[in-house]
């Protein structure tokens, strides 16, 4: 059979018009005829993908499962579709952290971490005959290298093909792989680059070089930048120059047809579309997959002449190009700026030149901007000696032609191993079939770091493994077969007690740490039944999150009256706990901080705050970090009992929570942050958050509201980028690709959490969004109050009452479920305006004048700046009782003078505020000069509409900051959560000011009163 398979492979290659290169045939013989492992240090462009295809073909011929792994999801999806074209859709599946397609297929494309976790979980029992590890140089990555090492350590029956253009010396891995598997290893040494490279250093503007390349037929060119922002801005700048890159009319027509197949609904998409129409593309990891795949498809068809991107080009993405232009030889590695190393340089440079299309590939490195400007100034100067020269920026890393020549002549060094042990690896290994103790010991004792660096590495890993096992046992995640507990209490550094029963082997205070032998003696270990399915496969601090969430489920007290009977605040806090253990999406956090600073600065400026005060206030502004103090305090205690966690830190943040609280969609959130370059980053973060919430949150905390949030999050992720599912449909019916996309279909429109298909909100499902929207809406009222502008307040009140009275309400209380179903038919939806304007008496100008008079009699200052606008000053009570209302108000449900049995003193349960009771509650005297000494007048009630009988109105309270910490006055509002005031662009009838920019529940002011 081997000869037949090899012959079939060769014949197929010839039938495509591209016969195998000698090194490809040699590689196929090693794999198929000799059944060896293969290490393939093949130059970029030499066809290493076909070597992988040969290995997969051999696996299929033997009835085995084959895995093709890569470091990036974008590369995984690209290989997935390439293999689908070769082997058929039914034979190829894909698994990444974001989801899976056809996961039971015999060929699986996956990220390296997916296979690594499966290898640790199942070991040699894993059903995988062949693993093709593309871009194997990631083995040397400090953070992710363990994922390339784990399968080599745990899959002794599997055939491996390790491929990269920049492997370096692989003799150590060659010897170790043969020792572990008993299978011989072939090293491919005959591979030659089929398309040679010409490299040069140029001191000139990039646009001049591009025009020259166009005239010399050396396009398409890829411009490599050090940042995503620089890549986008340079593409836009080049497009604005209207340079002639030779895009033909036929190509323009093809581009127009292709652009109809993709929805350009986001801000970045709208910026990208006109660039693509000119034959200019953008490519970086921050793009949504649908845009990135489109760019790759257009480039593959030869329709793009210039692509501006980042070094994602260097990890195997198939963007065929003739010329690479490096705009910098410096990169920021997360800590500092540094020169590219030889491996990074050659990975990028090697992408130039396409086998079968080009005879030569071209690589240019541009001089730094200051050096280019000096050269231009020198060329313009009549007297070169008088030409003004710029210097390199101080404190920045720069480069020169010498840097370039050194990189050209350098070879990549040997790959260094970067093994690590974390709790997810331990949990996977605990469940592996076979000898549990031996499996666990192998994590610490049998890895490449120990082999390369000796006993010091072994001791470090054994200590880490012991601490993780101990902490998992103490926290109840695992238990030993014969484990008994003690009543000994552990303490934090501040003396705080750590509750819970501690296993007998657990480290006691001031005791010698337990050895790995002592801890393993308590085994074998088992996972607890309460552990969520798939728990902690991705987040190192997931055990802490689970431990902290235990305090939520143990609190059985009812929520305080008026606060949050739906438990929605707890859902938001659960989200915050899990977000704190996720990796920081730094680009989004920087955008959050920048956006918040811009908002605060604008508000303070509008309020007339002095510049120095505004500047000082901005220094305190950062991105939101909910529960930061509580989580950090709990984490300090946790690390006392879990020493392994001391090397990590929590990262409180609010992205999912902020989107929910502010009623944001994906697109509106990106727009508000002003961060179009981070769309892909946000999508990946939301996917990670959804997965972590699914894996960490215990069943008893998965309330109806929590499930609704998870449904919304999943729905958002799917709607923002379903390109992989779309591509799958296109494989079944290629004609679908060229159907013009309707980006406004109802079932594809994004919706905020709680938003209904008709644009109204279910505010009762999302009271946090209502609170945020109302706080923002009240800021102009705060300014008017602070300016003692009672005439303006009266006009604003008329406008607000008119809005509430005119807006129809959707009476079908379908809640979030309506997001998953078509909008109700007109016949099924009864509509009516909010009764607020009818039921709530108007304060009027004289009332505002007298109420403000009472405030100014008591205080001489009202803060309308940062402190006055702080979120902590506003509260929205969804179930208020009498104690929440201003002084002098009667029982919300009982008119003054009614039967004493209904009085507040005799009431056992605080009655709810109902619309039918509002007149008796809110009727107040407009003739008194003090809001704190008004009389409550009995008023005859009017019958409300039948469909509002059971409607509970909410109470909003904006406390005024008086500079004396009295906080004894507040602006009160009545809120109807069943009605949405939609954003309008028209100006109000009375004030001429915009009527609003964001949806809010219907509301009207009650007035300014003492609290």
In tens, the pLDDT along 871-883 reads 889 999 988 877 7
Mapped onto helix, strand or coil, the DSSP state of residue 223 is strand
Q: What is the pLDDT of residue 997?
A: 54
Residue pair 1010/852 in contact by the 8 Å Cβ criterion: no
| 731 vs 81: CA distance, rounded Å | 9
Q: What is the pLDDT of residue 680?
A: 87
Q: Kind of pairing, strands 969-981 and 1000-1010?
A: antiparallel
Residue 483 pLDDT class (50, 70, 90 cuts): low
> What is the layout of strands, in order, in the sheet containing 107-111?
99-101, 92-96, 107-111, 66-70, 130-133, 159-163, 37-40, 185-187
Q: How many Cβ atoms sit within 10 Å of the Cβ of residue 963?
A: 13
pLDDT at 819 over 50: no
What does the pLDDT look like over 606-641, one tens digit per residue?
777 788 888 888 888 899 999 999 999 999 998 887
Mapped onto helix, strand or coil, the DSSP state of residue 390 is coil
More confident position, 896 or 550: 550
Q: DSSP letters of 602-660?
A: HHHHHTT--HHHHHHHHTT--S--TTHHHHHHHHHHHHHH-GGGGG-------SHHHHH
Residue pair 546/477 in contact by the 8 Å Cβ criterion: yes
CA atoms within 13 A on the CB side of 733: 7
Q: What is the pLDDT of residue 874?
A: 94
Find all residues with CB under 8 Å of 333, minimum gap 6, and list them.
Answer: none
Q: Classify burial at 917, counting beta carbons within 10 Å of its beta carbon; exposed 0-12, middle 13-18, buried 19 or more.
A: buried
How much of the chain, in percent, has pLDDT values that exceed 70? 80
pTM over 0.85: no
If we measure between CA atoms, which residue out of 707, 440, 427 comes closest to residue 543? Answer: 427
| 820 vs 823: CA distance, rounded Å | 9
Q: Please tell me the least confidently modeled range out of 74-78, 127-131, 619-623, 847-851.
A: 74-78
Write out the two tokens for 553: 């489920």
pLDDT at 795 over 90: yes
Report, as an integer, the average pLDDT of 786-808. Answer: 87
Before 114, cis peptide (omega within 30)?
A: no
Q: Kind of pairing, strands 280-283 and 306-309?
A: parallel
* Average pLDDT value for the chain: 81
| 678 vs 264: CA distance, rounded Å | 15
**Residue 101: DSSP 8-state:** E
Residue pair 720/666 in contact by the 8 Å Cβ criterion: yes
What does the pLDDT look like over 743-786, one tens digit per residue?
444 446 788 888 877 777 888 888 888 898 899 999 999 999 99
Q: How many Cβ atoms sit within 10 Å of the Cβ of residue 792?
A: 20
Find all residues with CB under 8 Å of 894, minimum gap 6, and list them.
Answer: 902, 903, 904, 911, 920
If we measure between CA atoms, which residue out of 845, 752, 830 comes closest to residue 797? Answer: 845
Q: What is the pLDDT of residue 305?
A: 96
Q: What is the pLDDT of residue 913?
A: 35
Q: How many Cβ atoms sit within 10 Å of the Cβ of residue 194?
A: 17
Backbone angles phi, psi at 132, to 5 degrees: -100, 115
Residue 152 pLDDT class (50, 70, 90 cuts): very high
CA distances to 87, 125, 702, 754, 756 from 817, rounded to whole Å, are 41, 43, 17, 9, 9
Q: What is the pLDDT of residue 506?
A: 45
**Residue 32: DSSP 8-state:** I
Report, as an integer, the average pLDDT of 294-298. Answer: 90
Give the angle 337-338-342 at the CA atoms, nearest 5°. Answer: 150
75-110 in b/e burial notation, b at 16+ Cβ within 10 A? bbbbbbbbbbeebebebbbbbbbbeebbeebbbbbb
CA atoms within 13 A on the CB side of 436: 17
CA distances to 147, 299, 339, 415, 761 from 137, rounded to whole Å, are 12, 26, 18, 7, 50
Write out the two tokens for 601: 């600065």
Residue pair 885/921 in contact by the 8 Å Cβ criterion: yes
Residue pair 979/899 in contact by the 8 Å Cβ criterion: no
CA atoms within 13 A on the CB side of 192: 6
Q: How many Cβ atoms sit within 10 Å of the Cβ of residue 373?
A: 16
pLDDT at 261 over 90: no
Q: How many Cβ atoms sit within 10 Å of the Cβ of residue 540?
A: 18
| 870 vs 893: CA distance, rounded Å | 32
Write out the two tokens for 838: 């009818």
pLDDT at 529 over 90: no
What does the pLDDT look like over 400-452, one tens digit per residue?
999 999 999 998 989 999 999 988 899 899 999 999 999 999 999 999 999 99
Mapped onto helix, strand or coil, the DSSP state of residue 277 is helix
Find all residues with CB under 8 Å of 50, minimum gap 6, and list them.
Answer: 13, 20, 24
Mapped onto helix, strand or coil, the DSSP state of residue 278 is coil
What does the pLDDT look like over 954-1010, one tens digit per residue?
899 999 999 888 888 999 999 988 888 875 543 343 333 334 457 889 999 999 998
Q: What is the pLDDT of residue 64?
A: 96
Report, as an integer, the average pLDDT of 839-844. Answer: 87
What does the pLDDT look like over 33-42, one tens digit per residue?
999 999 999 8
Find all residues with CB under 8 Å of 222, minimum gap 6, and list them.
Answer: 283, 307, 308, 309, 313, 319, 321, 323, 324, 325, 351, 352
pLDDT at 208 over 90: yes
pLDDT at 501 over 70: no
Report, as an integer, the average pLDDT of 288-312. Answer: 89
| 64 vs 248: CA distance, rounded Å | 48
More confident position, 66 or 229: 66
pLDDT at 811 over 60: no
pLDDT at 32 over 90: yes
């Amino acid at each position: 059979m081997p000869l037949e398979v090899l012959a079939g492979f060769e014949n197929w290659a010839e039938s495509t018009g591209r016969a195998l290169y000698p090194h490809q045939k040699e590689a196929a013989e090693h794999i198929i005829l000799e059944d060896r492992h293969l290490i393939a240090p093949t130059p970029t462009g030499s066809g290493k993908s076909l070597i992988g295809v040969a290995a997969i073909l051999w696996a299929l011929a033997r009835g085995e499962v084959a895995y093709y792994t890569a470091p990036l999801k974008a590369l995984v999806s690209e290989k997935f579709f390439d293999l689908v074209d070769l082997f058929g859709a039914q034979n190829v599946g894909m698994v990444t952290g974001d989801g899976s397609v056809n996961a039971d297929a015999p060929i699986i494309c996956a990220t390296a971490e997916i296979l690594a976790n499966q290898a640790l979980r199942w070991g040699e029992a894993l059903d995988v005959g062949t693993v093709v590890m593309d871009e194997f140089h990631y083995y040397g990555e400090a953070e992710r290298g363990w994922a390339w090492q784990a399968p080599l350590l745990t899959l002794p029956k599997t055939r491996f093909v390790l491929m990269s253009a920049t492997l370096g010396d692989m003799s150590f891995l060659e010897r170790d792989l043969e020792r572990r598997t008993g299978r011989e290893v072939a090293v491919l040494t005959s591979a030659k680059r089929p398309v040679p490279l010409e490299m040069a250093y140029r001191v000139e503007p990039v646009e001049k070089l591009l025009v020259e390349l166009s005239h010399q037929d050396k396009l398409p060119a890829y411009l490599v930048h050090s940042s995503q922002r620089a890549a986008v801005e340079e593409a836009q700048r080049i497009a604005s120059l209207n340079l002639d890159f030779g895009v033909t009319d036929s190509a323009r027509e093809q581009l127009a047809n292709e652009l109809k197949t993709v929805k350009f609904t986001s801000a970045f998409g709208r910026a990208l579309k006109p660039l693509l129409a000119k034959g200019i593309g953008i490519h970086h990891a921050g793009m949504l997959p649908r845009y990135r795949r489109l760019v790759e498809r257009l480039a593959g068809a030869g329709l793009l002449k210039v692509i501006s991107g980042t070094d994602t080009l260097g990890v195997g993405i198939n963007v065929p190009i003739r010329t690479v232009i490096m705009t910098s030889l410096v990169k920021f590695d997360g800590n500092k700026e540094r020169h590219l190393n030889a491996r990074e340089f050659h990975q990028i440079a090697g992408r130039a030149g396409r086998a079968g299309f080009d005879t030569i590939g071209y690589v240019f490195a541009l001089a730094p901007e200051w050096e280019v400007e000096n050269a231009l100034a020198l060329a313009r100067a009549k007297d070169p000696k008088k030409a003004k020269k710029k210097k390199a920026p101080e404190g920045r890393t720069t480069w020169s032609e010498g840097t370039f020549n050194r990189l050209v002549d350098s070879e990549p060094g040997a790959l260094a191993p970067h093994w690590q042990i974390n709790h997810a690896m331990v949990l996977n290994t605990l469940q592996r079939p076979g000898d549990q103790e031996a499996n666990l010991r192998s994590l610490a004792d049998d890895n490449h770091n120990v082999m390369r660096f000796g006993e010091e590495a072994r001791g470090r890993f054994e200590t880490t493994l012991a601490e993780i096992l101990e902490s998992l046992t103490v926290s109840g995640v695992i238990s030993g077969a014969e484990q008994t507990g003690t009543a000994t209490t552990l303490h934090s550094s501040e003396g705080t007690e750590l509750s819970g029963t501690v296993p007998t082997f657990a480290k006691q205070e001031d005791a010698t740490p337990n050895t790995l032998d002592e801890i393993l003696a308590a085994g074998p270990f088992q996972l607890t039944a309460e552990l969520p399915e798939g728990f902690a496969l991705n987040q190192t601090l997931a055990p802490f999150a689970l431990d902290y969430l235990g305090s939520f489920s143990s609190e059985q007290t009812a929520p305080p009256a008026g606060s949050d009977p739906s438990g929605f605040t707890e859902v938001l806090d659960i989200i915050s706990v899990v977000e704190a253990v996720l990796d920081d999406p730094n680009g989004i956090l920087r955008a959050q901080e920048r956006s918040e600073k811009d908002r605060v600065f604008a508000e303070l400026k509008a309020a007339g705050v002095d510049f120095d005060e505004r500047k000082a206030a901005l220094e305190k502004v950062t991105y939101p970090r909910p529960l930061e103090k509580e989580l950090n305090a709990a984490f300090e205690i946790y690390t006392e009992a879990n020493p392994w966690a001391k090397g990590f830190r929590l990262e409180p943040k609010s992205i999912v929570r902020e989107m929910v609280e502010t009623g944001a969609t994906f697109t509106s959130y990106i727009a508000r942050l002003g961060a179009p370059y981070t769309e892909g980053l946000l999508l990946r973060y939301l996917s990670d958050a959804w997965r972590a919430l699914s894996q960490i949150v215990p069943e008893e905390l998965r309330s109806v509201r929590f499930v609704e949030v998870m449904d919304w999050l999943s729905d958002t992720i799917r709607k923002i980028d379903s390109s992989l599912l779309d591509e799958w449909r296109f494989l079944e019916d290629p004609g679908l690709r060229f159907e013009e996309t309707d980006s406004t279909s109802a079932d594809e429109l994004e919706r905020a959490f709680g938003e209904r298909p008709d644009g109204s909100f279910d505010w009762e499902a999302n009271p946090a969004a209502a609170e945020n929207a109302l706080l923002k809406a009240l800021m102009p009222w705060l300014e008017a109050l602070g300016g003692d502008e009672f005439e303006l307040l009266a006009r604003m009140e008329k406008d607000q009452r008119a809005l509430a009275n005119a807006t129809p309400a959707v009476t079908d209380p379908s809640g979030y479920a309506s997001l998953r179903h078509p909008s109700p038919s007109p016949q099924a939806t009864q509509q009516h305006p909010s009764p607020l304007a009818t039921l709530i008496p108007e304060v009027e100008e004289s009332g505002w004048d007298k109420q403000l008079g009472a405030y100014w009699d008591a205080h001489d200052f009202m803060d309308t700046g940062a402190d006055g606008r702080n979120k902590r000053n506003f509260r929205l009570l969804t179930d208020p009782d009498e104690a929440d209302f201003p002084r002098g108000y009667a029982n919300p449900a009982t008119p003054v003078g009614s039967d004493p049995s209904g009085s507040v003193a005799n009431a056992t349960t605080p009655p709810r505020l109902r619309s039918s009771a509002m007149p008796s509650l809110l009727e107040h005297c407009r003739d008194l000069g003090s809001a704190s000494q008004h009389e409550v007048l009995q008023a005859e009630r009017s019958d409300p509409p039948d469909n509002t009988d059971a409607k509970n109105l909410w109470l909003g309270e904006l406390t005024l900051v008086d500079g004396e910490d009295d906080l004894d006055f507040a602006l009160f509002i009545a809120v109807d959560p069943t009605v949405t005031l939609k954003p309008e662009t028209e100006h109000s009838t009375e004030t001429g000011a915009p009527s609003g920019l964001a949806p809010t529940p219907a509301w009207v002011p009650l007035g300014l009163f003492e609290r």
